[in-house]
Amino acid sequence: MAATIHDVARKAGVGIGTVSSVLNNSRPVNEKTRQKVLTAVAELDFVPNPSGRRLSLGKTHTIGVVIPYFTIASQIERLRGVMSVIAGSDYDINLFTVETIPQRNKILQTVPRRGRIDGLLIFSLNPTEADLRRIHRHNIPTVLVEASHPDLPHLFLDDVAAAQTAVEHLIQLGHRKIGYISDYLDDPFGSFFSRNRYQGYCQALKAADLPIQPEYHRQGCFGREDGREKTFELLNLPNPPTAIFTYSDDIALAVLEVARDLNLNVPGDLSVVGYDDIELANFAQLTTVRQYLFESGIQGVELLLDTIEHPDAPPSHHQLPTELIVRRTTASPSQSNDAVSLKNRD
Amino acid sequence: MAATIHDVARKAGVGIGTVSSVLNNSRPVNEKTRQKVLTAVAELDFVPNPSGRRLSLGKTHTIGVVIPYFTIASQIERLRGVMSVIAGSDYDINLFTVETIPQRNKILQTVPRRGRIDGLLIFSLNPTEADLRRIHRHNIPTVLVEASHPDLPHLFLDDVAAAQTAVEHLIQLGHRKIGYISDYLDDPFGSFFSRNRYQGYCQALKAADLPIQPEYHRQGCFGREDGREKTFELLNLPNPPTAIFTYSDDIALAVLEVARDLNLNVPGDLSVVGYDDIELANFAQLTTVRQYLFESGIQGVELLLDTIEHPDAPPSHHQLPTELIVRRTTASPSQSNDAVSLKNRD
DNA sequence: GCAACACACGGAAACGTTTCCGACACGTAG
DNA sequence: CTACGTGTCGGAAACGTTTCCGTGTGTTGC
């Protein structure tokens, strides 16, 4: 159907090697011959078949990107960063989203293989030791973003410190009853950020001599709906928290939704702090921990492209900055007791 | 480095054809031989090289997805629908995001080629006639979503009717001065939805004997920031509209942002209607036109997979439903004049 | 005991590239 | 006239699969 390099060679009256040379500038070709080849290429609308190319070169010119939590806005923002770099390169992107544990395992088992991709970018997922052995055995350049492993190049956040800063902000405002909504601490996908942020939360409380009350910590919150549920649980406690810190902006927005449904005044009755600083955090005027998401996508691919070019360089680890952005969902807790505060709006 | 089918054959003491047969179940193999092959495969951790496979089969098992407006939440939602189907198939996804016109052209020129992908899914982009010729010449199964062309299978919306319904809702509430913020009507990417929605807007006005005032129509609005700007322009008119309809929820959220910044009461001073019903529309209590985004992604790939299997079936065209979701950003215009309404909140 | 047949399997050919060895033509120096 | 370099190019080999033709072995029926 489609023209092959042999068709071009025949039409131009040259050998296939010459056609290849012209197309790849891989060796000098007489100007006249070059023109003959180029017109033949144009007439046949010839484009080299990538499968043949890949087989011959042993390179796929494709990068795999593995993304869990694809519902979450922060991941999209990272992906956008990745795409912005890829657009200017000659690499293709293979997208793998992971929604379930079996899927996670299947992807990590089948994707990192020579001949499938040239490099792998993994977001927010810590590979197991078995995964790692496979990655090394197949010798696939791999970069982690928002995750870490000593043997792999990665970009990581200081989640502990960032969470601690966020909770300290609440404590400084006068909050003593602070809830935290997290993902499962033993994240089934093998992410640690939720656990780290929990640790930062605990450290802040400890440093202020506040007790760590287990009922103020809700874990296992995945989507928006879970977020609403956990918020209800927290606010229905006999002695509910006056502030809630969440492990993502998406969840924080769910908290705000519930607060509105309950006619709770934010920040008067309830302060809320998120994490990520997605675009909508600004819309909702959410106080949150900013991480530079788009930028992290860019740095992630660039690190990967580097690793592909220099596979033997020692794995480099870069810390991504974070910053507490104070907007309008945090304030000092009102003096009124909780029963009243449930009614004092509208 | 990695094991090939020859290594497996040698180790198992069989021929390569037998190994291939075992792996693909392509012909009966004696049980004993089969076991020998399988253990050799396991010991060598052999996985067939996709490039070799593709070259031999003439299939890539890859689907290209072309997505413009990747910032917009609705596109992500569609992509999620696509991924949910792909996860259960043995296809890979090649992602192409388009941000600029040259990029759009480059992608549409280089992506639809045999040997690169088996099928192409295009979101919200109308191919030019030249694009179409190329697609047909290379004989690449292609499906459009939120776009249309008689020669290609596609999923389309009745944007005209949906927009008309939205504007009629505003008229019924008593609005007479209704603004519309759209993308460029001559969309540089070749999308028609913006133009169609404008037409629906005009039809609704006409049907109610309302004048179509050019200054109420702002076009060329791409991102959130543009949205804010266009909103300012509309609200700063000597005789500003009392309601604003936008071509996407993302822009509608920008309108809400501006309204809040100006201390305008929504919906008291200003009604707002969006389009898409992204997840955050519910959070913002935005009245909007719902399209079933996730579902449209699912249907899009399924149609494509169908087309790949039956390339000679006539292109089928499916209409996607829409629905007006009335929430809390629309109400009857207040009686007070505009100067007052700018102050009557808080 | 032999023809016919089923079953099982080996390996050459083909897919479309790139690479690289070798060859040819021409000019130049000795 | 010869030897050698230079510029140019052709096409076999290799990349790792799948397919399919052909062959060998054992079984069945007469």
The mean pLDDT value of chain A amounts to 91
How far is it, in rounded angstroms, from Cα B123 to Cα B147? 7
Helix (H, G, I), strand (E, B) or coil at A324: strand
Same domain for A262 and A218? yes
pLDDT in tens, A12-59: 999 999 999 999 999 999 999 999 999 999 999 899 999 999 999 999
Across B238-256, average pLDDT? 95
pLDDT in tens, B283-295: 889 999 999 999 9
- Spell out the residues 6+ positions from residue A4 whose beta carbon is closer than 8 angstroms to its own: A46, A49
Residue A54 lies in a domain: no
Across A100-113, average pLDDT? 89
Q: Tokens at residue B8, please?
A: 């497996």
pLDDT in tens, A218-241: 998 888 889 999 999 999 999 999
pLDDT in tens, A154-198: 999 999 999 999 999 999 999 999 999 998 888 777 778 888 999
Residue B337: what pLDDT? Answer: 45
Across B60-74, average pLDDT? 91
pLDDT in tens, A254-280: 999 999 889 999 999 999 999 999 888
Number of domains within chain A: 3
Residue A195: what pLDDT? Answer: 87
Same domain for A38 and A10? yes
Give the range with max mean pLDDT: A68-72, B108-112, B140-144: B140-144
Report percent pLDDT > 90 for chain B: 77
Residue A225: what pLDDT? Answer: 86
- What is the domain extent for residue A18? 5-48
Handedness of CA B150, B322, B260, A290 (dihedral sign): negative
Q: For position A29, which CATH number holds?
A: 1.10.260.40
How far is it, in rounded angstroms, from Cα A213 to Cα A217? 7
Residue B346 lies in a domain: no
How far is it, in rounded angstroms, from Cα A203 to Cα A346? 37
Same domain for B261 and B144? no
Same domain for A112 and A72? yes
Residue A53 lies in a domain: no
Cβ(A187)–Cβ(A194) below 8 Å: yes
Residues 44-103 of chain A within 7 A of strand C, judged by CB, are 46-49, 51-53, 55-57
Residue B330 lies in a domain: yes
Same domain for B204 and B149? no
Q: Give a three-class secondary structure readout of chain B.
A: CCCCHHHHHHHHCCCHHHHHHHHHCCCCCCHHHHHHHHHHHHHHCCCCCHHHHHHHHCCCCEEEEEEECCCCHHHHHHHHHHHHHHCCCCCEEEEEEECCHHHHHHHHHHCCCCCCCCEEEEECCCCCHHHHHHHHHCCCCEEEECCCCCCCCEEEECHHHHHHHHHHHHHHCCCCCEEEEECCCCCCCCCCHHHHHHHHHHHHHHHCCCCCCHHHEEECCCCHHHHHHHHHHHHCCCCCCCEEEECCHHHHHHHHHHHHHCCCCCCCCCEEEEEECCHHHHHCCCEEEEECHHHHHHHHHHHHHHHHHCCCCCCCEEEECEEEECCCCCCCCCCCCHHHHCCCCC
How far is it, in rounded angstroms, from Cα B135 to Cα B298? 22
Same domain for A105 and A119? yes
Residue A346 lies in a domain: no
Residue A343: what pLDDT? Answer: 39
Nucleotide of closest approach to A29 (CA, C1'): D8
Across A2-20, average pLDDT? 94
Give the range with max mean pLDDT: A162-176, A274-288, A324-338, B104-118: A162-176
Same domain for B180 and B125? no
Q: For position A68, which CATH number holds?
A: 3.40.50.2300
Query: Any idea which residue has 């490039």 for tokens?
Result: B51
Same domain for A269 and A121? no
Helix (H, G, I), strand (E, B) or coil at A193: helix
Q: Tokens at residue A217, please?
A: 């910590």
Residue A188 lies in a domain: yes
Cβ(B3)–Cβ(B12) below 8 Å: no
Q: Tokens at residue A33, please?
A: 């011959």
pLDDT in tens, B250-272: 999 999 999 988 999 999 999 99
Residue A338: what pLDDT? Answer: 44
pLDDT of B336 > 90? The answer is no
Residue A266 lies in a domain: yes
Residue B53 lies in a domain: no
pLDDT of B280 > 90? The answer is no
Same domain for B276 and B168? yes
Residue B340: what pLDDT? Answer: 38
Same domain for A83 and A40? no
B14 touches strand C (CB under 7 A): yes
* Chain B residues within an 8 Å CB radius of A137: 45
pLDDT of B335 > 70? The answer is no
The mean pLDDT value of chain B amounts to 91
Same domain for B202 and B103? no
Same domain for B311 and B220? no
Q: Which residues surround strand D, with CB < 7 Å? A: A 13-18, 20, 27-30, 32-34, 52, 55-56, 58, 115; B 2, 4-6, 16-17, 20-21, 23-24, 26-27, 46-49, 51-53, 55-57
